[in-house]
A and B are shown apart, each in its own frame.
Chain A
């Protein structure tokens, strides 16, 4: 066993030591390139040697210029170089996938200007936000950019399009800005460090530091609004219209709240996440929480947020979204991890779509999943039921 292979194995063993055992779909057998490329290299060497020989070659005494010597050296050299390249490729494959199945979902792509950092899609329309404002796009039938709004706003971090009436909430360095449906100038409605917002009924609930405030959808000027103070910073909120609730990530806890007068009240006990939550999404009765380097966890929204499962076999979960029992995890440089969470014996990693690029946001809307890829500033659309092989 070569030193590099021993190193790679040690890396994988050490890495695996840190993870609780989680199942993975069996990866298809892959022919090691270190056995394939030597033949390619040898063939190329043979071609080069043949060309040399046919061009006249040489017959200097004491030098390796005769056909037989040149051929031998070229073939052996080509094979050796092929072996080295193949070995490097095998090692890279092992480090990239580590036994996980590579996935190649067909995607459609739409590129944006600036550096979008936020993605939201709803009912066939979507938007990305970042440098340059909020760029809207149609999601179906084709991906196509439409308008740009919120131009000039500095450091846009998130977008809220959960208002059924179509108003746009833009979260930026200055606070929360509301843009009316259609077009028109926006206005600041809440100054401060606003990290998340969601709409329930006629109110937009806004996470400002450790508070969640209730901002009327019709508000068009900046105030401090009635709200509730929570023990720690609120990093994400999402509305749950079915249960008339708002779920909130508060440091390493999940809270359920309900409208109470012009504010909110906590319902039940908070659920421990054992890690700081990043993003929150809701699919039917299941709440999905992206926990960064602690993976992804999902909870039963119909049962007080009871913990249902956790998936840790990911380097860093930027975001996560659920389509039926398929969990899509935006895993940064590892692309998208696809996990089956419907199995009785625990989640099963179906594979990793690494070719997608640096996935930093994912959402599911209608028949599609949408991924924000950072390195090319692109939104990718894929069918969540794509075949695995």
Chain B
């Protein structure tokens, strides 16, 4: 398959305007030259054809420097590092030298010769020298564009030196090298080694960072539209935690380079760091809109942060289905739906932008998010602990580390650690040892983490109980949602009064999404405040997200649930879901609909020993006698599912139906209470309620089952619900 050069490299190949602008003075030669330049952006075969054409140009016009330069350029840009392309690089070098003989002070020729040297082992110092020559030539010619590009290349050399030294630690004590195997096998190794066997080298790389920064500023002073210098400057300031300066630079450069997607991405990254989320989202979206379609898809793919199986499945989807899947992902990942911005998506794009800025390599044609470090950065965010170690000259433990910089990233929260190694000053690093496999395994447990968002928005879980009832007509379902807003956790330690809490419910039926919200004042001392919503729907699946958010502190709580709404068939005997409550009692004499009862649901369905447990449910479709009575047998069973210690327990009905009060049962793992009930009803919707005392029920998880049998038609239905009696947390001394 012919290898096509990436489209963005076309601009680099066409960049040197020197040869093109001047022309050879020979019409045929010029024509061949133009054809060669056009072919240079094509496949390897086309490039080779272009080279042949350039050879013809050289024969026709031996003093046309541009032909030799372009020839060298095609060879240089299509050669790789390593011994395999040695001849190609040597030929390229010769052509550049030929061009220089004809046009000795051409900055572009020196520039490309320097770039060629960068691909050669041990020639980086020579590259540096050539770039400086090119810089002086550009100054003499007052060529701002050339100056900018060369200054940027020099800045890149300085920045790579900085990157090789930043976070540098010296090994101390008896340790002589990083034991990569042990780092993989035992998470204790990394923090212990860093703390006891190494010490930080303060100020390492500072000089190179300052030099790089000055180079980038010089490049932008010469040509303010030079994108690579712009993103490099922003990235370097950001890396050095000079965020305000990065923000100022990003604002200015985004105005000067409005068409640059990378500058906007960098700006979005900085704004996100400054907690200016809405502006960051706008910056990211505008950046993505500027990218070519293929690049945008590559950059925003969820593949790196999905489980492998999901990634494989997504790869089989068409574009529309994939877009829907990605939207669903971000909906679920959004920490707070009540804010106008998806903070997780902003964080993801900020990570991608950082990886693009810091880990990309132009000379190796690798975008940062595709590198090993970029992958880990995108998955887990910035590592709280970073360290680099000088090249190992003894090949202590792993031949791979011989002569290479070893970088260690450690995430204390998850105990994840990653080790990379790379040649000094090359700007690339790969997984060391078996860390690629380690990363693949880590992905199974945690394909992505958003831990670094915790500092801004502490999200808690919230209990949510959902119960479905038949609607006003059999084809409708009423869904009641009961949420326990954790007031104390949201307001604890917040030095503010009033401290309103925004509460909302997002309902998504797959085609439309609605959020209802309001603001309430919670009592600080209240551990949990009940909030209830009712939704009426037809058949379908509904995704709910209940949220509570304290906007001044950024704290929140949320609960997600998917409910399958199946309308009740007309005439069928069925039961609603059971509502597990702290209290159920009739408001008055009438007991015909749910509204006739005072129900205090228990959203978390968790009880303490000694609590009473109240249940409410409805039956539908019972056969009514001409006197409008129904005779039903009700059986309530409580079964232990998982227990701390086996004990026998008892259950006794305390309230509810007169003929059921006082009934009790005792058992080891299950108790059942059964009784008959005759009730008069205006229609086939019959409410039921009970209050249970579980006595000395052990701390365990239970399945509560309610079976109602219509004794007239002999039809029955069962519903179940799990409840829990958790063991209380041990008191803190």
The docked-state distance in angstroms from the alpha carbon of A271 to that of B5 is 53
Interface residues of B in 689-728 (CB under 8 A from A): none
The one of B249, B456, B552 that contacts A177, using a Cβ cutoff of 8 Å: B552
Could you say which of B7-15, B420-428, B490-498 contacts chain A?
B490-498
Known: A14-B214, A154-B554. A173 touches B493 (CB 8 A): no
- Contact flag A149-B495 (CB < 8 Å), given A91-B207, A293-B245: yes
Chain B 110-132 per-residue mask, 1 if CB under 8 angstroms from chain A, else 0: 00000000000000000011001
Which residue of chain B has its CB nearest to the CB of A18? B221
Residues of A within 8 A of B214 (CB): 11, 14-15, 95
* Stretch touching chain B among A184-192, A259-267, A304-312: A184-192
Query: Bound state CA distance, A154 and B274, in angstroms?
Result: 12
B207→A95 contact, CB < 8 A: yes
Question: Which of A2-10, A104-112, A380-388 is near enough to bind chain B?
Answer: A2-10
Q: Are A292 and B248 in contact (CB under 8 A)?
A: yes
Contact B132 A7 (CB under 8 A): yes
Q: Please tell me if B218 contacts chain A, counting CB pairs below 8 Å.
A: yes
Residues of A within 8 A of B (CB): 3, 6-7, 10-11, 14-15, 17-18, 88, 91-92, 95-96, 131, 133, 149-155, 172-174, 177, 179, 185-188, 276, 278, 292-293, 316, 318, 332-333, 358, 360, 374
C-alpha gap A293/B234 in the complex (Å): 14
Q: When chains A and B are docked, how far (Å) is the Cα of A360 from the Cα of B275?
A: 18
Are B206 and A92 in contact (CB-based, < 8 A)? yes
Determine if B297 is an interface residue (Cβ-Cβ < 8 Å). Answer: no
Would you call A174 and B552 a contact (CB within 8 A)? yes
Add 20 more A-B contacts to A3-B128, A187-B498, A332-B245 (CB < 8 A).
Answer: A11-B211, A14-B214, A15-B218, A18-B221, A88-B207, A95-B207, A150-B495, A153-B495, A153-B552, A154-B553, A155-B456, A155-B554, A186-B496, A188-B552, A292-B248, A293-B245, A293-B248, A316-B245, A316-B248, A318-B244
B135 adjacent to chain A (CB < 8 Å): yes
> Is the CB–CB distance between B455 and A172 below 8 Å?
no
Are A152 and B210 in contact, CB atoms less than 8 angstroms apart?
no
Residues of B within 8 A of A154 (CB): 275, 456-457, 552-554
Are A153 and B244 in contact, with the CB atoms below 8 A? no
Considering the complex of A and B, which 3 residue pairs feature the smallest CB-CB distances, nearest first? A152-B494, A154-B554, A185-B497
Q: Which residues of B contact A (CB under 8 A)?
A: 128-129, 132, 135, 206-207, 210-211, 214-215, 217-218, 221, 240-242, 244-245, 248-249, 275, 455-457, 493-498, 551-555
Neighbouring B residues of A11 by C-beta, 8 Å: 211, 214-215, 218
Contact call A174/B218, Cβ cutoff below 8 A = no
CB within 8 Å for A174 and B456 given contacts A11-B211, A96-B210, A187-B496: no
| Interface residue from B128, B211, B241, B495 paired with A152 (Cβ < 8 Å) | B495
With known contacts A14-B214, A185-B497, A92–B552 Cβ distance under 8 A: no
* Contact in complex: A152, B493 (CB < 8 Å): yes
CB–CB B275/A173 < 8 A:
yes
Q: Write out the residue numbers on chain A whose beta carbons fall within 8 Å of the beta carbon of B211.
A: 7, 11, 95
Inside 8 A of A153's CB, which chain B residues have their CB? Answer: 494-496, 552-553
CB distance from B450 to the nearest CB of A (A): 17
> Which one, A173, A185, A276, A316, contacts B496 given CB within 8 A?
A185
Q: How far is the CA of A92 from the CA of B210 in the complex (A)?
A: 9
* B495 and A185 form a contact (CB under 8 A): yes
Residues of B within 8 A of A149 (CB): 495
Contacts of B218 on A, CB cut-off 8 Å?
A: 11, 14-15
Bound CA span A92–B248, Å: 26
For the A-B complex, the count of residue pairs with Cβ-Cβ distances under 8 Å equals 99
User: Which interface residue of B206, B214, B240 has the most chain A CB atoms within 10 A?
Assistant: B214
A to B CB contacts below 8 Å, 11 in the list: A7-B211, A11-B211, A14-B218, A88-B207, A152-B493, A152-B494, A152-B496, A154-B553, A155-B275, A179-B495, A360-B244
B244 CB contacts on chain A under 8 angstroms: 278, 292, 316, 318, 360
Give the residues in chain A near B135, CB-CB below 8 Å.
10
Closest to A115 in B: B455
Distance from B253 Cβ to chain A, minimum over Cβ atoms (Å) = 12
B287 to chain A, nearest CB (A): 22
Q: A7-B132, A10-B135, A14-B214 are in contact. Are A151 and B207 (CB under 8 A)?
A: no
Q: Considering only CB atoms, which chain B residue lies closest to A293 in the complex?
A: B248
A96 to B209, CA, bound (A): 11
The answer for the CA separation of A179 and B553 in the assembled complex, in Å, is 16
From B249, B493, B494, name the one whose CB has the most chain A CB atoms within 10 angstroms: B494
Which B residues lie within 8 Å of A318 (CB)?
A: 244
Contacts of A292 in B (CB 8 A): 244-245, 248
Asked whether B496 lies within 8 Å of A131 as measured between CB atoms, the reply is no
How far, in angstroms, from A292 to B245 measured CA to CA in the complex?
Answer: 8
Return the chain A residue nearest B213 by Cβ. A315
- List residues of chain A with CB within 8 A of the CB of B456: 154-155
Distance in angstroms from A353 CB to nearest chain B CB is: 17
Q: Contact at A187–B497, with CB atoms within 8 Å?
A: yes
A120 CA / B217 CA spacing, docked (Å): 33
Contacts of B128 in A (CB 8 A): 3
A152-B553 CB under 8 A given contacts A11-B211, A316-B245: yes
CB distance from B644 to the nearest CB of A (A): 36
* Residue numbers in B under 8 Å from A3 (CB-CB): 128-129, 132
Shortest CB–CB separation between residue B222 and chain A, in angstroms? Answer: 9
How far is the CB of B582 from the nearest CB of chain A, in Å? 30
CB of B552 within 8 A of CB of A95, answer no
Q: How far is the CB of A224 from chain B (nearest CB, A)?
A: 17
Contacts of B242 in A (CB 8 A): 316, 332-333, 358
Given contact pairs A11-B211, A154-B554, A172-B552, A177 touches B248 in the complex (Cβ within 8 A) = no
Q: Do the beta carbons of B207 and A92 come within 8 Å of each other?
A: yes
Output the nearest chain B residue to A154 by Cβ-Cβ distance: B554
Q: In the assembled complex, how far is the CB of residue A379 from the closest CB belonging to chain B, in whole angstroms? A: 18
Residues of A contacting B132 with CB < 8 Å? 3, 6-7, 10
Chain A contacts for B129, CB-based, 8 A: 3
Which residue in B241, B455, B495 is a CB contact (below 8 Å) of A151? B495
Instruction: Determine if A333 and B494 form an interchain contact, defined as CB atoms under 8 angstroms apart.
Output: no
Distance to closest chain B CB from A34 (angstroms): 14
Partner of B455, one of A91, A131, A276: A131
CA distance A360 to B249 in the complex (A): 17
In the assembled complex, the CB of B579 is this many whole angstroms from the nearest CB of chain A, namely 35
Please give, as numbers and ranges, the residues of chain B lying within 8 Å of A173 by CB-CB distance: 275, 554
Residue of B nearest to A89 (CB): B207
Separation of A173 and B549 alpha carbons in the complex (Å): 14
CB-CB under 8 A from B457, the residues of chain A are 154
Shortest A162–chain B CB gap in Å is: 21
The interface centre, meaning the residue of B210, B456, B552, B553 with most chain A CB atoms within 10 A of its CB, is B552
Q: Is the CB of A188 within 8 A of B496?
A: yes
Nearest B residue to A179 by beta-carbon distance?
B495
Compute how far the CA of A131 lies from the CA of B456 in the bound complex, rounded to whole angstroms. 9
How distant is the Cα of A359 from the Cα of B554 in the complex, in angstroms?
A: 28
Question: CA–CA, A172 to B555, complex, Å?
Answer: 14
**Contacts of B240 on A, CB cut-off 8 Å?**
333
Q: What CA separation (Å) do A153 and B210 show in the bound complex?
A: 36
Shortest distance between the CB of B149 and any CB in chain A (Å): 15
Least CB separation from A12: chain B residue: B214
The winner among A154, A174, A332 for most chain B CB atoms within 10 A is: A154
Q: Chain A's nearest CB lies how many Å from the CB of B639?
A: 44
Q: Given B210, B455, B497, which contacts A95 in the complex, CB threshold below 8 Å? A: B210
Most buried by A among B217, B221, B553: B553
Interchain nearest-CB distance for A263 vs B (Å): 27
Question: How far, in whole Å, are A358 and B207 apart by their CA atoms in the complex?
Answer: 16
Measured between alpha carbons, how far is A169 from B275 in the docked complex, in Å?
Answer: 20
